[in-house]
Amino acid sequence: MTLLEIHEPGETPLPHAGEGSLAVGIDLGTTNSVVAIARQGKPAALHDEVGRALVPSVVAYPGAGGVRVGDEARQLMASEPRNVVASVKRLMGRGAADLHAVAGVLPYEIEPGTGETDMVKLRIGGKARSPVEISAEILKALRNRAEAALEKPVERAVITVPAYFDDAARTATRDAARVAGLEVLRLVNEPTAAALAYGLDKGSEGLYAVYDLGGGTFDFSLLRLEKGVFQVLATGGDTALGGDDFDRAIAERMLAERNRDGLGDRVDEAAVKTTLALARHMKEQLSDREQTSARLELAGVPSFHALGRADFEAMIRRYIGRTIDIARDVLRDAGVTAAEVQGVVLVGGSTRVPLVRAAVARLIGRPPLTDIDPDEVVALGAALQAEALTGGGDSLLLDVAPLSLGLETMGGIVEKIVPRNTPIPVQLAQDFTTYQDGQGAMAIHVVQGEREMVADCRSLARFELLGIPPMTAGAARIRVTFAVDADGLLTVSAQERTTGVAQRVEVKPSYGLSHEDMADMLYDSLEHAEEDMNARLLTEARVEARRSLLALEAALAKDGALLSSEERAAIDTGRARLEAAMAAGDRDEINAAAETLETLSKPFAERRMDRGIRDALSGLSVEQLERRVGE
Amino acid sequence: MDHFARLGLPAALELEPASLDRAYFALQRQWHPDRFANRPAEERARASAEAAALNDAYRTLKDPLSRAFYLAELKGVALPGDGKTIDDPDLLMEAMEAREALHEAQTVEAIDKLAVEARDEVKQALGNLGTLFLRGDKPAIRKALLRLRYLDKFADEARTRRANLERSSA
């Protein structure tokens, strides 16, 4: 017999029932960011109301107050340059000492970090803000977009990072997600995510390379695809090389031309930002044509600039040459020749530059793969991984540690414990000994990088193993263990093996956030809690309303005949009002309309219930009934 | 558990790369932390430890040279630490001559020739090593492994020198 379905209060009999909070994939890029979702192995980027997938990674703190992200923030660049931050990803996990890498790129006032942390802060909108805090604003905007598009709360994400991001930058990214209220399911390397997007789509097997040239970073990775397993063999890159460098080359040339013509510019922040924006436009135009020209106006003084593709290519050749050198190194690391590579995936907007495509094609000896939008491919792969991690999907991602991890030994020499390209998670140990008789403590200095001397590597953490019992030099056995988890994050522990004295640290990189900073930021986010809460409540009201509408539609399709035409008309009016309220985004109106609709459809629901029971019982004898009740 | 046992493979020098991959992928499918994302912390920690041990085993056995050293260790062959000391006079002479040749090589082709020779020697020495393991001749295994370590370093130096030369001429 047909049993009546009775649902838990608040649950729905409709498709996607019980699908708690969703997990999205986020490409948090230097220039643009994208959020995507995968369902049943089909990933899709989430668009705004006018259909744009890309959110410019630009954050503004306008003089008028509040925070703007994306295109709205970019529009403020010319009028309020001091209140707008772009390319903040370049500063993630960076200390004051690293600033040579970005010198001249960022016309902001930069302050060295204070207290526990060395991470720089930017003075924006009259307040010192850390890159983590600024990135968190971008993540919040992406989360809001996802919740609006999916009409569901979004609390978990897979976030991509450049393979070459070091421990400090990875930790900073995780912290930013936390400030934005997102649980990070996994940090996935961008090239790996791109390969996921291609591999699952095509069921490819064999060796593939991913050439990822974004706005500010370059990565090259080599992967093997086999029966749903994505094995990263080797990876390499440069965290300060990208399309922004092309823009800067063009901008510098335009400013030099104006200087030559005696226009006497005072090159301030607004001038730099205006010139860079124009330079980017010219660069993009040169992807499809041989010549471009532009009119630049600074402080009311116009100038005209022509640029041919050949000239542009001469300006950027050295940057592209460097990417090809890195790619060769990666192939060499993996012991693979270029001819063995079956395909190269292009990722990042900068791979639209024809010279880039030509250089990659020459390296590998075949044209690169470009069928997935290079701006979206990383987010799509991240979405697939998010789905795989939350229960769907059967693919498996085997990633590697992109940079060597080691310890400082006598004389400032690095002893590598985890060589680069070691598959992760991994736990590796090495024994060290004391240098002096009776030495009671040992300083452990953890570093990351490929160079032999500590001074040339990045310092990640320092701690001391205390309480080593007095022994002659060289007698103690100190075992230092490095554990790298699947996100590429490191924990180091040390133990004196003859006595068992142990010490363990989570490597909180020196460039990470101090606890105070983290507390401040969480406090700040509480200040916005009301706005955030309102947005959340609206999303929930919409989700609830959508559920009841779908349930009602299903019931009408099945049992619509139970209604008189007047009753049907009243319900239809109620449905239309609720739809309108949902579109308008007024939470109180949505709740009111939903309540009215429920009242209107109550008699219908009761009649369906009666009929359901009648149907279930009809044609049964008393005996059968009794038996059924007794079951 | 030794690395061979962990991957369910016989402890031998001969190992088909494809069967190593097959065993490794199958076990990672079972133990990788991604498979435990929604499980309790305790199970996740266990899976993570298992996956880490698998990665260590795979990494050690994948490269024929590191596999040979590991197998020697299992069989109780005592090798000097990773120091640069060479205590075999024949090997010392061979190494000095090869270094000199590399130093004098000024073209990519000349370096390639040396690197190819070194790689061929590695292959040949690895081939002979299989027999030595079967015979259980520990002193001979030790001597062969020291020579292999040197040849590997030499091939590496040749590669670096070639890359530098290519870069400076590009």
CA-wise closest residue to A601 among A572, A561, A581: A572
Q: Which residues of chain B does A483 touch, with a Cβ-Cβ cutoff of 8 Å?
A: 52
Q: What percent of chain A has pLDDT over 90?
A: 29
Average pLDDT taken over every residue of chain A: 82
Residue A396, min C-alpha distance to chain B (Å): 7
Map tokens 């979405």 to a residue.
Answer: A383
A615: confidence class by pLDDT, cuts 50, 70, 90: low
CA distances from residue B8 to A358, A427, B19, B30, B146 in whole angstroms, order as listed: 46, 20, 10, 14, 28
Question: How would you write B46-97 as a 3-class SS string?
Answer: HHHHHHHHHHHHHHHHHCHHHHHHHHHHHCCCCCCCCCCCCCCHHHHHHHHH
Map tokens 């924990």 to a residue.
Answer: A491
Cβ(B48)–Cβ(B34) under 8 Å?
no
Torsion angles phi and psi, residue A602, rounded to 5: -60, -50
- Which residues lie below 8 Å from residue A500, measured CB to CB, with a gap of 6+? none
Cβ(A300)–Cβ(A266) under 8 Å?
no
Question: How would you write A398-458 as a 3-class SS string?
Answer: ECECCCCEEEEEHHHEEEEEECCCCECCEEEEEEECCCCCCCCCEEEEEEECCCCEHHHCE
Residue ranges of chain A whose CB lies within 8 Å of a chain B CB: 185-186, 226-227, 229, 231, 321, 325, 328-329, 332, 388-391, 396-398, 422-428, 483, 485-486
Say if residue A285's pLDDT is above 90. Answer: yes
Read off the pLDDT of each residue in B94-122 and give the average, rounded to a whole number: 84
Cβ(A240)–Cβ(A205) under 8 Å?
no
Using the Cβ of B32 and the Cβ atoms of chain A, whether some distance falls under 8 Å is answered with yes
- Which residues lie below 8 Å from residue A222, measured CB to CB, with a gap of 6+? A207, A208, A209, A232, A233, A234, A235, A330, A331, A334, A336, A341
Nearest chain B residue (CA) to A420: B59
pLDDT of residue A624: 57
Q: Which residues of chain B does A424 touch, with a Cβ-Cβ cutoff of 8 Å?
A: 55
Which candidate from B29, B55, B59 shows the least CB-CB separation from A425?
B55
Task: For residue A190, indicate whether it is catalytic.
Answer: yes
SS3 content of chain A, % helix, strand, coil (to 5): 40, 25, 30
Which residue in A184, A227, A398 has the most chain B C-beta atoms within 10 A of its own C-beta, making it the best mutation to test that interface? Answer: A398
Cα–Cα distance for residue pair A220/A208, rounded to 1 Å: 11
Question: How would you write A460-474 as a 3-class SS string?
Answer: EEEEEECCCCCCCCC
Same domain, yes or no: A383 and A433: no
Same domain, yes or no: A236 and A358: yes
Cα–Cα distance for residue pair A246/A228, rounded to 1 Å: 37
pLDDT of residue A627: 56
Same domain, yes or no: A545 and A610: yes
Which candidate from A226, A325, A425 shows the least CB-CB separation from B52?
A425
| Backbone φ/ψ region at A254: left (φ over 0), alpha (ψ -120 to 50), beta | alpha
**Are residues A425 and B21, on separate chains, in Cβ contact within 8 Å?**
no
State the Cα angle at A422 between A420 and A428, rounded to 5°: 105
Q: Which residues of chain A does B164 touch, with a Cβ-Cβ cutoff of 8 Å?
A: none
Q: What is the CATH number of the domain that holds A211?
A: 3.30.420.40
Which candidate from B29, B37, B51 shows the least CB-CB separation from A425?
B51
The amino acid that residue A628 corresponds to is: R
Q: What is the CATH number of the domain that holds A596?
A: 1.20.1270.10
Say if residue A163's pLDDT is above 90. Answer: no
Please give the sequence-ordered ranges of beta strands (E in DSSP) within A272-347, or none if there are none: 291-298, 301-308, 343-347
Question: Which of A481, A516, A551 corresponds to the end of one domain?
Answer: A516
pLDDT of residue A10: 39
A5: confidence class by pLDDT, cuts 50, 70, 90: very low
Average pLDDT taken over every residue of chain B: 85
A278: confidence class by pLDDT, cuts 50, 70, 90: very high
Using the Cβ of B56 and the Cβ atoms of chain A, whether some distance falls under 8 Å is answered with yes
For A499, the domain range is 405-516
B7: confidence class by pLDDT, cuts 50, 70, 90: very high
Read off the pLDDT of each residue in A358-371 and give the average, rounded to a whole number: 91
Same domain, yes or no: A393 and A411: no
Set A118, A190, A376, A387: catalytic member: A190
**Are residues B25 and A227, on separate chains, in Cβ contact within 8 Å?**
yes
pLDDT of residue A134: 93
Asked whether residue A83 is domain-assigned, the answer is: yes
pLDDT of residue A388: 86
pLDDT of residue A128: 82
pLDDT of residue A628: 53
Say if residue A574's pLDDT is above 70. Answer: yes
| pLDDT tens digits, one per residue of A430-481 | 888 887 888 888 888 888 887 777 777 778 888 788 778 888 888 888 888 8
Beta bridge partners of A464: A443
Cβ(A157)–Cβ(A26) under 8 Å?
yes
Using the Cβ of B46 and the Cβ atoms of chain A, whether some distance falls under 8 Å is answered with no
Same domain, yes or no: A197 and A322: yes
Which residue in A192, A330, A427 has the most chain B C-beta atoms within 10 A of its own C-beta, making it the best mutation to test that interface? Answer: A427
CA-wise closest residue to A74 among A244, A296, A274: A274
Q: Helix axis angle, B64-74 relative to B41-62, nearest 10°?
A: 100
pLDDT of residue A461: 80
pLDDT of residue A543: 77
Predicted TM-score (pTM) of the model is 0.71
Which candidate from A389, A396, A428 shows the least CB-CB separation from B29?
A396
Nearest chain B residue (CA) to A185: B37
- Name the least confident of A147-151, A539-543, A557-561, B166-170: B166-170
Asked whether residue A312 is domain-assigned, the answer is: no
pLDDT of residue B106: 82
Say if residue A1's pLDDT is above 50. Answer: no
Set A175, A212, A247, A408: catalytic member: A212
CA B32, chain centre distance (Å):
24
Question: Which of A335, A369, A398 corresponds to the end of one domain?
Answer: A398
| pLDDT tens digits, one per residue of A167-216 | 888 889 999 999 999 999 999 988 889 988 887 555 678 899 999 998 87
Task: For residue A27, indicate whether it is catalytic.
Answer: yes
Cα–Cα distance for residue pair A627/A311, rounded to 1 Å: 90
Asked whether residue A350 is domain-assigned, the answer is: yes
| pLDDT tens digits, one per residue of A486-536 | 888 888 888 888 777 776 655 554 444 454 555 555 555 555 556 666 776
Say if residue B165's pLDDT is above 50. Answer: yes
pLDDT of residue A173: 94
Say if residue B154's pLDDT is above 70. Answer: yes
**Are residues A486 and B56, on separate chains, in Cβ contact within 8 Å?**
no
Q: Which residues of chain B does A481 touch, with a Cβ-Cβ cutoff of 8 Å?
A: none
The amino acid that residue A450 corresponds to is: E
Say if residue A376's pLDDT is above 90. Answer: yes
| Superfamily name and number for B89-169 | HscB, C-terminal domain (1.20.1280.20)
Cα–Cα distance for residue pair A482/B47, rounded to 1 Å: 17
Which candidate from A332, A396, A428 shows the least CB-CB separation from B34?
A396
Q: Which residues of chain A does B35 touch, with a Cβ-Cβ cutoff of 8 Å?
A: 396
Same domain, yes or no: A73 and A143: yes
Domain coordinates of chain B in residue numbers? 3-62, 89-169
pLDDT of residue A448: 85
- Name the least confident of A213-217, A448-452, A624-628, B6-10: A624-628
Q: What is the CATH number of the domain that holds A455?
A: 2.60.34.10
**Are residues B25 and A226, on separate chains, in Cβ contact within 8 Å?**
yes
Asked whether residue A8 is domain-assigned, the answer is: no
The CA R_g of chain A, rounded to the nearest whole Å, is 29
In this structure, are strands A301-308 and A42-45 parallel, antiparallel, or unpaired? unpaired
Same domain, yes or no: A449 and A383: no
- Name the least confident of A2-11, A244-253, A474-483, B69-78: A2-11
pLDDT of residue B91: 80
Is the reported ipTM for this assembly greater than 0.85? no
Asked whether residue A264 is domain-assigned, the answer is: no
pLDDT of residue B39: 81
Q: Which residues of chain A does B48 touch, with a Cβ-Cβ cutoff of 8 Å?
A: 425, 485-486
Same domain, yes or no: A510 and A603: no
Say if residue B42's pLDDT is above 80. Answer: yes
A104 vs A358, more confident: A358
Question: Which of A398, A433, A463 corresponds to the end of one domain?
Answer: A398
Cα–Cα distance for residue pair A148/A66, rounded to 1 Å: 20
Cβ(A391)–Cβ(B22) under 8 Å?
no
**Are residues B25 and A396, on separate chains, in Cβ contact within 8 Å?**
yes
pLDDT of residue A617: 57
Residue A555 burial by Cβ neighbours in a 10 Å radius (0-12, 13-18, 19+): middle
Read off the pLDDT of each residue in A2-29 and give the average, rounded to a whole number: 56
A21: confidence class by pLDDT, cuts 50, 70, 90: low
Residue A184, min C-alpha distance to chain B (Å): 11
Set A27, A147, A238, A375: catalytic member: A27
| pLDDT tens digits, one per residue of A229-276 | 888 899 888 877 889 899 999 998 998 898 888 887 777 777 888 898
A137: confidence class by pLDDT, cuts 50, 70, 90: very high
**Are residues B37 and A389, on separate chains, in Cβ contact within 8 Å?**
yes
A140: confidence class by pLDDT, cuts 50, 70, 90: very high
Using the Cβ of B100 and the Cβ atoms of chain A, whether some distance falls under 8 Å is answered with no
Say if residue A101's pLDDT is above 80. Answer: no
| Superfamily name and number for B3-62 | DnaJ domain (1.10.287.110)
Asked whether residue A600 is domain-assigned, the answer is: yes
Same domain, yes or no: A235 and A354: yes
Sign of CA dihedral B46, A186, A243, A84: negative
- Which residues lie below 8 Å from residue B75, measured CB to CB, with a gap of 6+? B133, B136, B138, B141
pLDDT of residue A90: 80
Which candidate from B32, B37, B55 shows the least CB-CB separation from A426?
B55
**Domain count for chain A:** 3
pLDDT of residue B85: 61
Q: Which residues of chain A does B29 touch, with a Cβ-Cβ cutoff of 8 Å?
A: 229, 396
Asked whether residue A291 is domain-assigned, the answer is: no
Asked whether residue A524 is domain-assigned, the answer is: no
Q: Which residues of chain B does A493 touch, with a Cβ-Cβ cutoff of 8 Å?
A: none
Task: For residue A212, indicate whether it is catalytic.
Answer: yes
Say if residue B19's pLDDT is above 80. Answer: yes
**Are residues A427 and B170, on separate chains, in Cβ contact within 8 Å?**
no
Using the Cβ of B1 and the Cβ atoms of chain A, whether some distance falls under 8 Å is answered with no
